[in-house]
Amino acid sequence: MWKPNQAALLFLVALLIASWTGQTFGDEECQQPPAVTHIYTNVGLVGLTGTNLGYLGTSFDNRNPSGEYPLNSNVEHVYSGGLWVGAVLADGQVRVSTGSQDANGQGEGDEIREFDLIGLCQEDAVRVISNRQNADNFSLDALSTQHIESNFNDYANPESGGHEPLGIKVNLRALAWSNPYADDFVILNYRIIKISEWVLQDLYLGLWMDTTVGNTEQTNPYDPNAPIGWNYYDDMNGAWGAQGFVDPSHTPDGDPGIWMAYEHDDDGEEGLATSWIGYRLLGTSENAQPEPGQSPVSYNAWGFRHVPQGDDWYYDPDNPDELVPGKYQIMSNRDFDVGETQEANYSIASNWVSIISTGPFPSLAPADTISITFAVVAGADSLSLLDNSKIAQAAYEDGFSIPGGPPSPILETRFSEDTVILSWAPGDSLDAGGNELPNDSPLRSPEHHISTATAQEDFQGYRIYRYQGNSFTGDPYDIAEMVAQYDIVDGRGYDTGLPPLNDDGHREFVDTNLLDGFPYWYSVVSFTAPNELQQLPEFQSGFYENGLLVFPGPGPAAAGSGKGVGVFPNPYRTAGLFDSGIGEQELGRKIWFTGLPVRCKIQVFTLMGEVVKTIDHNDPALGMASWNTLSDAGRAIATGLYIFAVTDLETGEVQRGKLVIIK
């Protein structure tokens, strides 16, 4: 087969992309979608960042959840990860395209990842949709509570050096559910589409992951100069494999087809990071075809910085006479790297990275598609991890179907002193003209939701959960207090009736005797009654479908009310009751300005008149705003006396006061 030079290859790629998209390459009508790196799953208990650049996680370059579990717990589990695709061309050339490899931070990672957006059009832009019918982004296309769909290809990452593409486009569907029994995993469905003119042979597909477990408030991964830095070298790794291909001790009872890698922190960070993370191969759209008796799956692990530097066999830079296997050879070697072997001791704590790969698939011709699906799974311990992964496997085998009941209502909040007021629309079965609403109409939710299993209304009641604190140390259902339960009067359950309707026709719940300025989480969930006839259990909607963090306090001050602006605590002492967090204390500090008008500007000055902080406040519900004691430049401020000024942007009135900070 003729092999073009680099310039000719790029020109050929442009033509191929143009023919595939139906657009002229570079045509203004085919605008390249933007890079999206900030979206993460947030409806279940796993907060996993996914991107349209081919990689998972944040590499701790920002504070978005990289692989946080439980969500809002500050316990991270994923540094980076990504799809690997390897194949042989007709001329025998071996190529591997990777979404992520060993890298110290995302800047370095961008230089070696091999997927990008060049040649894609706006139709390939990231979309986030939901199968929850009262969601703003409800779509009949959605497969889950949160369905994040992105596209990327391997034609050109300008920073990836001499990478030679396979000529593939990848469509990734990241699927997360809010249902309490299915909120511990995220399913990653990769569809690999061949869009170049050459045929790929002996294809291998895999997911490479750099997992790492710790509590970001105990050990800081974001600041290289932190007093207590992140420990990447205290993680224990391993894997479970399918019956008949691995030692029986590595096949858990009752799960004979499993292929799954896992990791946990060796010492659990003194009880602050005891959860487990894993990734499980759920299946492929066609069966791999290894030689008879060979395993269809490989599990390989290395210490960080030991990922192969070449796609094919290459000479070790440190030992020029030694030929070492490349990425493709690793993906296809049938290894199962667990325990103590002649090559390495995988049973010790270290900074491990790993890949689960499967193949070969004989060929992938132009316009062909092949898919591979993994689940990133978390659990409180090894048994929970396995149980949660089985649910993910069952969901995959049932076409990504997760049974559920009515969605959580969409909440509105109001505040008064020491009080939070929650309200929500109850839903209806009829439209304004008295006609029956369609089953999937958002106006039905939640009290007239139609079950997809029975085609009948399945709503039974509401449960209201409350938790005082910024972050969770475990499953919110285990930690939060159920402060109220309402049940329709139908002879089943408690028959307490539903919350009253306010003047707007919305359900309303008033929670009093709270502490102004302190954090509270609230969630209102819907539930069904068990259906014995259909053999259906009770279903409950998810905590994070509407879970929200609020700070009670008085409502906004009316103009001319004579209510003065105040600040508390004053004097402010660090490490007091208003501080939260264990490690990086500045981020957990809060000073509250109260008695604020709806729209105002808050400025804090030194005694010399220098502006330290400016806060823009615009909140029709709450007359308070917080400050974390950081300056506009993000620096911690010193002990001292400060002046604050609050300008009402409606009337121009200015109120001033003094604030003392003691560290």
In a domain, 336, yes or no: yes
User: Do 353 and 418 sit in the same domain of this protein?
Assistant: no
Encoding tokens for residue 485? 């339960």
Q: How would you classify residue 197: left for phi > 0, otherwise alpha for psi between -120 and 50, otherwise beta?
A: alpha
Q: What is the pLDDT of residue 476?
A: 94
pLDDT along the chain (663 residues), means of 10: 39 43 47 96 98 97 97 97 97 96 91 91 96 95 98 80 90 97 97 96 98 95 91 97 97 97 95 97 98 97 93 91 95 96 93 98 97 98 97 97 94 91 94 91 92 90 95 92 95 91 96 91 95 82 95 82 82 62 49 92 94 94 90 89 94 92 86
Q: What is the pLDDT of residue 493?
A: 83
* Whole-angstrom distance, CA of residue 409 vs CA of residue 407: 6
Q: Quick one: 201 exposed, middle or buried, by C-beta within 10 A (0-12, 13-18, 19+)?
A: middle
CB within 8 Å of 320: residues ≥ 6 apart: none
> Which of 397, 427, 453 corresponds to the end of one domain?
397
Q: What is the pLDDT of residue 318?
A: 85
User: Do 383 and 445 sit in the same domain of this protein?
Assistant: no
Q: Are 258 and 242 in contact (CB under 8 A)?
A: yes
User: Do 160 and 200 sit in the same domain of this protein?
Assistant: yes
Q: What is the pLDDT of residue 453?
A: 84
List the CATH number of the domain containing 645.
2.60.40.4070
Encoding tokens for residue 363? 């060929």
> Which of 550, 575, 592 corresponds to the end of one domain?
550
Residues in the chain: 663
> Which of 397, 429, 460 corresponds to the end of one domain?
397
In a domain, 451, yes or no: yes
Residue 303: how many CA atoms within 13 Å on its side-chain side? 10
Q: What is the pLDDT of residue 560?
A: 63
User: Do 277 and 371 sit in the same domain of this protein?
Assistant: yes
**Which 8-state DSSP code applies to residue 476?**
H
Dihedral sign for Cα 622, 627, 631, 633, please.
Answer: negative
In a domain, 403, yes or no: no
User: Do 439 and 362 sit in the same domain of this protein?
Assistant: no
User: Do 393 and 430 sit in the same domain of this protein?
Assistant: no
Alpha-helix runs per DSSP H in 363-472: 382-397
User: Do 581 and 541 sit in the same domain of this protein?
Assistant: no
In a domain, 385, yes or no: yes
Element (H, E) at 478: helix 476-479
Domain that holds residue 163: 6-397
User: Do 594 and 524 sit in the same domain of this protein?
Assistant: no
How far does CA 156 lie from the centroid of its chain? 26
User: Do 272 and 369 sit in the same domain of this protein?
Assistant: yes
Number of domains in the chain: 3
User: Do 375 and 428 sit in the same domain of this protein?
Assistant: no
List the CATH number of the domain containing 460.
2.60.40
Q: Are 267 and 234 in contact (CB under 8 A)?
A: yes
List the CATH number of the domain containing 353.
2.70.98.10
pLDDT digits (tens, 9 = 90+) for 86-111: 999 999 999 999 999 999 999 998 88
In a domain, 560, yes or no: no
- Strands, E, within 285-435: which ranges? 297-303, 314-316, 319-324, 352-364, 369-379, 412-416, 419-424
Q: Quick one: 321 exposed, middle or buried, by C-beta within 10 A (0-12, 13-18, 19+)?
A: exposed
Q: Are 542 and 178 in contact (CB under 8 A)?
A: yes
Kindly give the pairing relationship between strand 572-573 and strand 654-662: parallel
In a domain, 586, yes or no: yes
User: Do 526 and 578 sit in the same domain of this protein?
Assistant: no
In a domain, 557, yes or no: no
User: Do 545 and 602 sit in the same domain of this protein?
Assistant: no
The whole model's pTM is what?
0.88
